[in-house]
Amino acid sequence: MNDQGIKSRPAYAPLARDPVGRTHLLVADSMAIPHAAFAPGTSLGDYDECWTVEGHSRAIPSAMPDARMHGFRSASHLLIALRRRLAMEYMGFRLYAIGTEAFLWDVAAAAEAAGMGKEEYALFHAGSGARRVLCVHCRTLNQGVTTNLVACGGCGAALFVRDHFSRRLNAYMGVQVDAEMPGERPDVEEIYR
């Protein structure tokens, strides 16, 4: 069930600094950045700045000893600063993101909104595999879904999580699993950890 054979699910390749870029900003939604996020022979040191999330309420961005490092309180906190930064950037700026899928596509949306093209930012999935699931029936976003089925927080429908992913909505599609025959459902399994 983990691969439903649907081709809209994003695939991610390890990051490498774009040689034609001028400034390189890496953002991550965790302090724990895995080595696997970087292409062989490359590392965190290749980037001009690295913004991460410390996950506590006293974090102050840019107070770290290494001036290249900035620690934010949360992903939301980081995204506010990122949108401001993108509004002031010029051609040659390159953006790289590492983190959960929901974070990656929030970053991508900020980049697109600032006029960046697909070739100017790169994404790598790390951390939780939990999914953001849009109920196609009532349009409620259900966060942090780790199971094949989830009860919609809006309309209560038992949603099957399809592998169909919308970058624009930053969500997988949830479709009522027993619409044809009430109660006719597969077992619940935790598969997106």
Partner 1 sequence: MSIAFKTDEIFRDGFRYANSDAAILRFPFPFVEDSYMYSVNIEPHVRGGPTPAFDAVLDIDEHYIGECRERALVLAQDPNRCMVLPHMMAAQWDTLELIMESLAADYPDHFQLGKDGDRWTWRNRLLNIEDSFVFGAPETLPFEPFEYITRQMQGDFTLQDQRDGNLYMDGGMVTSQADWSLEFDLGMTFHEWHGPVPLAHDLGVFDRALQYLLRLQYGRPVRRLNWTMTVNPRLDTSPENYPLWGPDRTTVTPENVGDKLHLRVELQTLYRLPRSNAILFSVRAYLASMNELARVPKWGRRLHRVLRDIDPALEDYKGLGRYRRMAIEHLAQFDDGAPTGKGIAPEVDVLPA
Q: Which of 62/166 has CB closer to partner 1? A: 166
Among 5, 19, 45, 65, which residue interacts with partner 1 (rule: CB under 8 A)? 5
Q: What is d(CA 27, CA 78) in angstroms, rounded to the nearest whole number?
A: 8
Of the candidates 166, 184, 161, 172, the residue with the CA atom closest to the CA atom of residue 2: 161
CB of 147 to partner 1, least distance (A): 20
Among 6, 80, 87, 188, which residue interacts with partner 1 (rule: CB under 8 A)? 6
CB of 39 to partner 1, least distance (A): 23
CB of 162 to partner 1, least distance (A): 7
CB of 165 to partner 1, least distance (A): 8
Tokens found for residue 141: 């976003």
CB of 172 to partner 1, least distance (A): 10
Furthest C-alpha separation in the chain? 60
Q: Which of 53/107 has CB closer to partner 1? A: 107
Q: Which residue has the tokens 């929901």?
A: 102
Contact between 104 and partner 1 by CB under 8 A: the answer reads no
Contact between 185 and partner 1 by CB under 8 A: the answer reads no
Return the axis-axis angle of helices 75-88 and 101-113, rounded to nearest 10°.
20
CB of 59 to partner 1, least distance (A): 34
Are residues 151 and 162 in contact, defined by beta-carbon separation less than 8 angstroms? Answer: no
Contact between 162 and partner 1 by CB under 8 A: the answer reads yes
Tokens found for residue 86: 């993108």
Are residues 1 and 189 in contact, defined by beta-carbon separation less than 8 angstroms? Answer: yes
- Which residues ranging from 128 to 157 are in contact with partner 1 (CB under 8 A)? 134, 136-137, 139, 157
- Strands across the sheet containing 49-53: 69-72, 49-53, 23-28, 93-99, 121-125
Contact between 167 and partner 1 by CB under 8 A: the answer reads yes
Q: What is d(CA 146, CA 137) in angstroms, rounded to the nearest whole number?
A: 20
Among 181, 183, 190, 193, which residue interacts with partner 1 (rule: CB under 8 A)? 181
Residues that bind partner 1 (CB under 8 A): 5-9, 117-118, 134, 136-137, 139, 157, 162-169, 173, 175-176, 179-181
